[in-house]
Amino acid sequence: SYELTQPPSVSVSPGQTARITCSGETLPKKFAYWYQQKSGQAPVLVIYEDTKRPSGIPERFSGSSSGSMATLTISGAQVEDEADYYCYSTDSSGYHRVFGGGTKLTVL
């Protein structure tokens, strides 16, 4: 089955730039999406179609994709950005969706 691979954890100090990567063989041809999930809450879409930011999401969140890797960047990470982040995409058929294993971001 198709897989997306993320690092289990990323840690930064407040104000630093956090980068979370997601690798998958279909990412050169399929969009990547990113979700933020804070403890005990439902996930929230923070990036869609590789680089687009939904309304209400702070500008410090940005996305990029190159080759088989997508990256979520949080410029000037804040303590409230501490959460689990999941990348999301589809398999080569486009019919089936898949999540990465999630990355726990610590801002401390």
List the beta strands (DSSP E) in the chain: 9-12, 18-23, 33-37, 44-47, 61-66, 69-74, 83-90, 97-99, 103-107
Q: Which member of 25, 49, 78, 80 binds other proteins (CB under 8 A)?
A: 49
Q: Which is nearer to other proteins, 14 or 29 (CB)?
A: 29
CA 42 to each of CA 16, 26, 36, 88: distance values in angstroms, whole numbers, following the listed order: 26, 27, 9, 15
Stretch that binds other proteins, among 16-24, 61-69, 73-81, 89-97 (CB under 8 A): 89-97
Q: Is 97 in the site for other proteins (CB under 8 A)?
A: yes
Residues engaged in binding other proteins (CB under 8 A): 1, 31, 33, 35, 37, 42-45, 48-49, 54, 86, 88, 95-102
